[in-house]
Structures are given as structure tokens and as C-alpha cells.
Chains A and B, each alone.
Chain A
Amino acid sequence: MINKIVDNIEKALEGVESNMTFMFGGFGLSGIPENAIASLSQKEIFGLTCISNNAGVDDFGLGLLLQRKQIKKMISSYVGENAEFERQMLSGELEVDLIPQGSLAERCRAAGAGIPAFFTPAGYGTEVAQGKEVREYNGKPHILETALSADFAFVKAWKGDTTGNLIFKGTARNFNPLMAMAGKITVAEVEELVPAGDLDPNQIHTPGIFVQRIFQGAKYEKRIEQRTVRTKK
């Protein structure tokens, strides 16, 4: 089997440079590549374009890269939980491209699947459609959206094996499998790394072909953004 293991996070991040485009899996703070983000926030790389559904919170997730002003442009669907983000956006320091969540997911998937563009009804008649080709299919107007790829995609899975196969847990799957497909170099970090053969091939969510480097994260905080509970009666 092809071995994707890297010895440490430094090796995993080898080749990252200023002005590159990065993708980050995760929804809110769930399923984000915590270790890669923390390590990137220690590096002297700036002018980054980051594609991620959200932008973290002030002191966690992509908020760490924002604090150090490493990000030049964010491509996201929802960014409402981060005061520093808002400040940088309103002051014009940060360029922001907001796109519909389903289009974001599909644009990543399309890049990984070799589809350069597709038509979707989402966003027709809104600001999102400005400058985009419109075509009618089945009597309904659609807009042309193009694929999104990245120099590096950083994803996080629950379990992975040495050949790069990934299994996700719960709703921490979200954008991770799609971004794994769209990265020129996809770096997967996992909670548990096992030898090839230990994972049931029937249960694999992301086949190892989409993963170039894999490592086990040193630790996971897994912060909860909105803790909602019910009380036992």
C-alpha cells in the first residue's frame, strides 16, 4: 500500500508559503483541523486566501490566523461568530467572498471530480449572481458557478489509516471529504491513526487517493460553540 504517513506536523505542512490558497474542513468549530491551524498560526506566512465554511471564533480555529493578519481573503458562507473578522472586513483589511453554503460544498467537490463549472439555482436574482452566466433549465433560471481548488486542503477525520483512508464521526464530516478531493496537497489529521487493514473498507468515507499526507493530531480541544441541553425530568 502507498504510505501517506508523515512523522510530524512540520513535515505535514512542508511547502506552505505566503499568498497560497488553503482549504479548511469543518462546520463552525466542529471537525476543524485544529492541529494544522494552530501550527500554521505560528508560521511567518501571510497573504493567504482561505476557503472555509466559517471563520472560527476570536481565539480558536481560523480566528488564530486572523489575529495575526495572515489571511488576505476569506471565502465562506457564514462568518457571524468572530468580532476580529468583522473588524478587519469593515475596515477593508480583509477581502471577503460570501457564497451560498451548498454552492461552496459543490464547488469543492466539482474541483476534485474534474468538473470545472456547473449551474445551480442558488443565488439567482441576488448579489451572488452578479456577473455570472444565467441559463434556464426546466423552466427555471440557474447561475454558473466555477470549481474551487486549493494549494493545500487541511481536513480532520476521526480515524485514518496509513494509506490515507478516512472515517469521520457525527456531523464533523461536513466539508472535510469535499475539500480533501479539492486540494493539490491534502493534509489529513486524525484522532486515531491505525495500520492499513485495520479499517473496514466498507466503512471508509474518504478513500486514501484523495489524501497526500496523514498524521495523528497531538491533541484535540473540540470546543463546543453553542452548548444546548435539556434537563432530565
Chain B
Amino acid sequence: MALDKNQIAQRIAQELEHNTYVNLGIGIPTLVANYIPKGIDIEFQSENGVLGMGPFPFEGDEDPDLINAGKQTITTLDGAALFDSSTSFAMIRGQHVQLTVLGAMEVSENGDIANWKIPGKMVKGMGGAMDLVASADNIIVAMMHTNRAGESKILKKCTLPITGVNCVKKVVTNLAVLEVTEKGFKLLERAPGVSIEKIKNATEAKLIIEGEVPEMNI
């Protein structure tokens, strides 16, 4: 069975390391916060200026002065800090934020990512994505393996305008966990019950397959 969005988030949550600062993008990445493993302490950064972001507020407690980068109302946890946009991107560019999880339209086998523009169709802007992907030490992409037309989003080369070069380290999709290596995408894990054949058929890029490919532990 291919994973749903929550299960993709759940699998990514297994990548979280104790005592680290993490920036989650909009969409599937946001769901990662729901699956932090026991014993792992994480602080979430949102680039509009908060560290120690908490869950959504209870109804009636929404504060227009407290939002995340997706403009959603949020809360802060004990120990949180607030700051301006320049300080926020100092944390990002200065590699103080250790992990960035974000969505993508395409990822290529050298680690390029495209997620900000479809020429002539969607021109909303890159927001903080270009700063994030240019600097984070570890970048994990959360996305569906194929687009709505059924075409692979895992490509030899991105076709859309790119957001950053050579930056993605790992991709978790509804079908597989892929690592970006110097030689291309290495298939690390497959979704429970999904065959290697099926993953190959859904992937335009070449896959490096070494030995047994285990199923994800979801």
C-alpha cells in the first residue's frame, strides 16, 4: 500500500534527531510535528520569526500577532523566542537550523529541487524556500512520487525553474525513501507492500538498488 500524507510525515519523523532545530515547510512537512518520537526533543523554527512553535491554539485563543510562515494561527511553547526576519534567516543561512523539511514539485538526481514556480501558471514566489535550501545542512523532501497526471516527480533533471542546486539529501514519497548520492537516487526503503518494480515504473530517474530493499517501518 502506498502511504498517505500522514504516513509520509510519520516516516520523516523517524529522521528527527534529539536536541535539534527544525524548519517545517507548508503541507505534508507541517504534519511531521504530530509524530515526534518519544525521547526526542525538537524545537520548531518558523521563518517569519518564532522558535519553539507549538500546536494550533484552542478555538477562541487565536492571536493575529502569532502566526507561522503559512500564516496559520499558532501557539508558542515554554522557552520559545520571537525575533525579526533578518535574525530568522541568520539562523537559517548560518546553519543554526539543522534540518529543513519541505515539499517539492520535482527533485533531480543531483539533488536539485523545484518547488516555487510553474511558468505561465503559478507565480506565487519562493518565500523563504530559496534561503532554506541554499543553506540547511540536511534537507528532506516530503512529496507524492508522481504528480496528478501520473508523471514522475523524481527526475534525471528538473524541468521547472529550480529553487536550489545540489541540496536535497533525502526524499520520502508515498512509495519510497530515496537518498541522493553522488551517483544518483539510491532506493533505501519501499512503502509496505509496494514492489521495487512499481517504484521503478513511477520513477523517471535511474534508481540505484543494492541488495534487499526493506519496507518502511510505519
Q: Which residues on A are within 8 Å of B, measured CB to CB?
A: 27-31, 53, 76-81, 86, 89-90, 96, 98, 100-106, 108-109, 120-128, 158, 168-178, 205, 222-232
Contacts and interface: CB of A to CB of B under 8 A. Distances in A.
* Size class of the B contact interface (CB-based, 8 Å): 35 or more
Contact of B131 (A78, A102, A174): A102
A126 B162 contact: yes
Given A105-B85, A178-B84, A226-B71, A123 B50 contact: no
A122 B48 contact: no
A138 B57 CA distance: 43
B62 A225 contact: no
Nearest to A128: B130
Contact of A229 (B59, B123, B126): B59
10 contacts: A30-B65, A102-B89, A120-B93, A170-B50, A170-B66, A171-B82, A172-B65, A173-B82, A178-B86, A229-B58
B152 interface: no
Given A27-B49, A121-B134, A222 B125 contact: no
A136 to B, nearest CB: 14
A225 B71 contact: yes
A114 to B, nearest CB: 15
Interface in B30-85: 46-50, 55-59, 61-74, 82-85
Contacts of A89: 123
B124 A80 contact: yes
Contacts of B129: 100
B92 interface: yes
Contact of A170 (B82, B88, B93): B82
B128 interface: yes
B27 interface: no
A88 B93 CA distance: 33
Given A80-B125, A100-B126, A101-B128, A106 B86 contact: yes
Given A122-B130, A125-B164, A228-B74, 11 more contacts: A30-B48, A30-B67, A80-B125, A123-B134, A170-B66, A170-B82, A173-B84, A175-B85, A177-B86, A229-B61, A229-B73
B150 to A, nearest CB: 26
B214 interface: no
A121 B93 contact: yes
Contacts of A86: 123
B29 to A, nearest CB: 15
Given A53-B85, A175-B85, A77 B128 contact: yes
Interface in B74-109: 74, 82-86, 88-89, 92-93
Given A126-B164, A127-B161, A171-B82, A226 B70 contact: yes
Interface in B121-167: 123-131, 134-135, 161-166
A176 B48 CA distance: 11
Nearest to A181: B86
Contacts of A205: 84
